[in-house]
Amino acid sequence: MASQQKVTQVSRKLSNKIFQNCNQDARHLLPGCYFYAGLQIQIKFFSASSEILKENLEHWDWLVYDGFGQVVLKTGVGNTIDDARALAQVWTIEFLQGTIP
């Protein structure tokens, strides 16, 4: 638990520094990601068909990485691509402001 807390603190500090300096280096950008406030966000479409449930499952996964693309800080799910993007961006701002652990 302590190591995850330390990673979170370091990620927040580094991400804030990257954001403040506007130094978003494309070398660190993971494929399919975009920079947002110094962190990297990736949105992925998920689709599966379930014969047992007789339905198709579709949603958009979102992942927030540190600014260097090394550590996944948070994941979540949205119903649409816009929903997933908005959820990831709101979480990013709250994370950087320290309003969430």
* pLDDT one-digit tens code per residue, 2-18: 566 666 666 666 666 65
Evaluate if residue 53 carries a pLDDT over 80: no
**pLDDT reading at 22 higher than 50:** no
Does residue 8 contact residue 73 with C-beta atoms inside 8 Å?
yes
Summarised one tens digit per residue, pLDDT across range 54-85 is 778 889 999 999 888 888 999 999 999 999 99
For 33-50, the pLDDT digits (tens) are 999 988 999 999 999 887
Cβ-based burial of 22 (10 A; exposed 0-12, middle 13-18, buried ≥19):
exposed
The model's pTM: 0.73
